[in-house]
Structure 1
Amino acid sequence: MDTGPNILLVMADQHRGDAVGADPHCPTDTHGYPFVHTPQLNNLVERGALFSRAYVPAPICVPARQSLWSGQTPATIGSTNWYGHPWEFEHTLAGELTDAGYQTHLVGKTHSQPRGNHVGFERMGPTHVGASLRDDDYAEWLHNKSGGQYDKHTGGLESNTWTARPSHVPEHEHPTTWTTSQALNFLENRDEDRPFFLTVSYQRPHPPFDPPSAFWEMYIDRDLPEPVVGEWVEEMFGDEIPTYPPTDAWIADLSPHEIDRARAAYYGLITQIDFQLTRLFESMWREHGVLDDTLILYTSDHGEMLGDHHLWRKGFPFEGSTRVPLLLQFPTSMDYPTEQIIDRPVGLEDVMPTILAAAGIDIPETVEGRSVLSLIEDPTADWRPYYHGELGPSWTPKDATQYLIDEQYKYAWNPYNGDEFLFDIGSDRQERCNLAESSDHTEIVSTYRSKMARHLAHRPEGFSDGESLHQVGLDAWEGMETP
């Protein structure tokens, strides 16, 4: 076969879309410069593109990753909530590349179920679970390296928390550094007679919020951007804000001090990933001579609310949770327009067809996503009329959400309690004003309600009869472990 380009897929976990310096909505400092320091990610745009409206099909780990690997939606997979379903797909991104002759390998975080499911990769590992489990390769490595004196939990932070502190391990022993080292080991020992598909999957900036001291210090003394709190928040969530929030709270009105620490740590973790990408790209260029022959794609499985609207973690239909980075850099052999910021709604199920198209491999009929290469060739090209995402109840009924995003608006609806949102994303990207609360926007809210009803018309949960939306009980999510 004609060999395609090498492919490097870099995934972060819980990296929100505006936390990239090149993103047009990145917070800025008093001088107007991007607040988040990501020079290596920014540089990808020089030979590629940044999609400033990349969304997730489900704003939580398991279904989002299933969609990325399969190119299918959570509804098709039968996995719309955190619990997920067995990872059994007819076609996967890695599987198609393996069948086409690529050497396929993943290092770092994997959420596949059952543990050890390769999702089509020839090899996975070493891997890092990242949650509160101790039986992963990174934890074993760290335990052995310290002679049993400490492990990844001895810093005292939980895996889902708003509390923050510098890492208790040296920078060279941090999981982000360790994951990069495993990628470098692959490059050193790869089969040079085949093109490679390498996935480098970082567990951060997902909590614990624990950057090494050097990256903590980059942000902790700065005047950090404050969270956005919409005009609608008090009425919608006011009664749910706890007086004494637990450290893993989904909703919490924290002190400015605690918020600053969380944001400093979060941005520090992202900048650490950027520095590690410098390490990886330098090796690909200087030591292995493959950087110019490699297609690079960077993305994440979902975002992090980071205190916006008093919300933390993920699972919400709002921008902090649903929008992620999506950046592409082309090898020199590909003649695509570069230095583009493309503001069209795309999603994680588009990653598989994009990479396969770039590699010259047929896209399986099971794939529901679309290659974004057509938008790179012509950012005004015909595209999907809207993007749809969802989440079934995972911890509480408040988790249930359905959302539609088009060129201007985002409409979100909770099928359990009927909560409704409409945001003019074109002019209100921070979602300060919920138009669904205003009598002045009754007609446009009705229009989007009808769009959602038509989209959900054939769903077995009973969300819609094709014309109207219907609230449903928890038993509608058949087979789900009820909260």
Structure 2
Amino acid sequence: MNIRNTLLVVALSLLAQEALIPFATADDAAKSQPNIVFLFADDQSTYSVGCYGNKDVKTPNMDQLGRDGVIFDKHYNTTAICMASRANVFTGMYEYKTGCNFGHGNMHADVWSKSYPVLLREAGYLTAFAGKFGIVVEGKGLCEEDFDFWGGSPGQTNYDTAKNKSMKKYASAYPHSTLSYGAFGQDVIRESVKKKKPFCLSISFKAPHKPAIPDPQFNKVYAGKTFTKPENFGREFGEHFSPQSKTGRQYPRFTEWKYDTDYDGEMAKYHQQVYGIDVALGMIRDELTAQGVADNTIVIYTSDNGYICGSHGYGSKVLPMEESSRVPLIIYDPRSPLNGKQMRCDRLTGNIDFAPTILELAGLPVPANMDGQSLLPLLQDPNNGGHDQMAFINVFGPLPTHSLTCLTPRYKYTYWWFANDKMKPVEELFDTKNDPLELTNLAAQPKSEEALTEMRKRYDLELEKWKNEAVDYNDYQRYGTLFDRDSSSDKTSN
């Protein structure tokens, strides 16, 4: 065979091989990275969702998401107040590293530069945000320019859609803001599919945050409904809680918000607001299906903190008790082998885990500064992953309520450091596995000495991280002393 014929044979062979390789289209490139939908309620407790055991409520879309994916039963916000919690989520870091909370200060731009929205956009994702942004970044404000689609608003936002500047175009069809965010999500999905690029849609609903203003079109859902009170409802189940925890606004709100006198009326409004979010969730999932991207889109549903609606005779959030610190978390990843098996995960997880999870979903490296860890292993095996321990932080509100808590899959330990002529430092130890209603403080029981000693050591490890890693601004350094169980410094305060 001469050289000319040999080259012809080689050329034909290469053409034949190339014919077997599919042409890489823009659609194929988009499918190589999944879409991500992160939905964030405001003040939603676990007892507001049917799949968490409440038979009094109607949450069909949340329940369906749970049946489709994985329900997490030990998921905590590492700070249970909206500004700090949102900073945790964006950055994957504890509050003392975000440097961001009410009464402390705004987030610095260098911290924001390593947030999941910024990193995803740099990697080619279309990014979208709507609702309560919750933080302010020094020199950047709300960071509108860091998103391809923007429906965010400052402060607490408004239930009246027309009063949220970036959402006005939805006001006619959706006068209540909750469903307007569902419509925003639908638009983002449609536009992203047209652009043939992967997207990350983040929506922070205002609901069910007070003041309670439910969407009136759902007034009939709970009209005249009687709700079952939790077994730890009322002041008689809070006597064993620290006196420090009773100095904040959470204690008087049991009566101020009429949980003691109008529980059914208050809960009807609360659950009606959650029902509106459930409808918006349905709008978004329906649009994913309609656009043919449901099988390549991960949906994460959770809340910025829980809510105390009368348990132990308290109201609101902030404190480390289960009702305010533990929240719903449901994740549906169409690629997970657990889908449709109605799986639940009882491993310890936290809001610091969302940024690492979202980055791993996008195929991006997780920055070393992040405290969280990806939740993806738990979507393959619900017993493989999670934390051995985490911190829960409160440095918001009156100083006596400021505290550090250490969480493990079984125990919760809080050191209430504040002392004056009316109170002295107090320890709380709860076995949340066997006593989820937190009815017994084990700290003073001799039989629990071994567990108490172990949890003190774990607490000290969390405090050591604080001392070593806290930002040197916005008043986070002093807590290394205030929260130290062994500090000889005078920690009483005016």
One fold, TM greater than 0.5? yes
After superposition, the C-alpha distances for 1:55-95 in whole angstroms (9 at most, x for unaligned) are: 01111111111111011111222336654432431411111
Q: Give the aligned partner of residue 50 of structure 2.
A: 21
Residues 137/117 of structure 1: CA separation in 2 closer, same or farther (3 Å cut): farther
Q: Give the aligned partner of residue 457 of structure 1.
A: 464
CA RMSD of aligned residues (A): 3.5
Task: Give the whole-Å Cα distance in 2 for the aligned partners of 1:415 and 1:457.
Answer: 16
Task: Give the whole-Å Cα distance in 2 for the aligned partners of 1:247 and 1:408.
Answer: 25
Task: Give the whole-Å Cα distance in 1 for the aligned partners of 2:156 and 2:237.
Answer: 33
Residues 137/367 of structure 1: CA separation in 2 closer, same or farther (3 Å cut): farther
Superposition map of 1:23-422 within 5 A: 23=52, 26-27=53-54, 34-79=55-100, 83-88=104-109, 89=111, 90-114=113-137, 116-118=141-143, 121-123=146-148, 125-129=150-154, 131=156, 138-140=163-165, 172-190=174-192, 191-227=194-230, 228-229=232-233, 233-234=238-239, 236=241, 249-252=252-255, 254=258, 256-286=260-290, 288-331=291-334, 334-338=335-339, 339-381=342-384, 383-392=386-395, 394-417=396-419, 418-422=425-429
Task: Give the whole-Å Cα distance in 1 for the aligned partners of 2:483 and 2:261.
Answer: 48
| Maintained 8 Å contact 1:416/1:471 | no
The residue identity in structure 2 corresponding to 1:58 is: T
After superposition, the C-alpha distances for 1:37-64 in whole angstroms (9 at most, x for unaligned) are: 1111121233321111110111111111
Task: Give the whole-Å Cα distance in 2 for the aligned partners of 1:356 and 1:238.
Answer: 42
The TM-score normalised by the length of structure 2 is 0.79
Residues 258/83 of structure 1: CA separation in 2 closer, same or farther (3 Å cut): farther
Task: Give the whole-Å Cα distance in 1 for the aligned partners of 2:349 and 2:383.
Answer: 13
Sequence identity (%): 24
Task: Give the whole-Å Cα distance in 1 for the aligned partners of 2:178 and 2:455.
Answer: 42
The TM-score normalised by the length of structure 1 is 0.80
Cα distance, 1:454 vs structure 2: 3.0
Q: Give the aligned partner of residue 441 of structure 2.
A: 434
Tell me, which stretches of 5 or more residues in structure 2 are unaligned? 1-28, 420-424, 468-476
The residue identity in structure 2 corresponding to 1:126 is: G
| Maintained 8 Å contact 1:108/1:200 | yes
Residues 125/474 of structure 1: CA separation in 2 closer, same or farther (3 Å cut): farther
Cα distance, 1:411 vs structure 2: 1.2
| Maintained 8 Å contact 2:71/2:330 | yes
Cα distance, 1:319 vs structure 2: 0.9
Task: Give the whole-Å Cα distance in 1 for the aligned partners of 2:169 and 2:289.
Answer: 32
After superposition, the C-alpha distances for 1:3-35 in whole angstroms (9 at most, x for unaligned) are: 301111111111113322112xx33xxxxxx22
Residues 380/240 of structure 1: CA separation in 2 closer, same or farther (3 Å cut): closer
| Maintained 8 Å contact 1:60/1:82 | no
Task: Give the whole-Å Cα distance in 2 for the aligned partners of 1:410 and 1:241.
Answer: 19
Cα distance, 1:143 vs structure 2: 9.0
Cα distance, 1:256 vs structure 2: 4.3
Residues 401/431 of structure 1: CA separation in 2 closer, same or farther (3 Å cut): same
| Maintained 8 Å contact 1:56/1:347 | yes
| Maintained 8 Å contact 1:50/1:341 | yes
| Maintained 8 Å contact 2:250/2:315 | no
Residues 257/11 of structure 1: CA separation in 2 closer, same or farther (3 Å cut): same
Q: Tell me which structure has the larger Cα radius of gyration.
A: 2
Residues 119/409 of structure 1: CA separation in 2 closer, same or farther (3 Å cut): farther
Cα distance, 1:305 vs structure 2: 0.7
Task: Give the whole-Å Cα distance in 1 for the aligned partners of 2:333 and 2:159.
Answer: 38
| Maintained 8 Å contact 1:449/1:469 | no
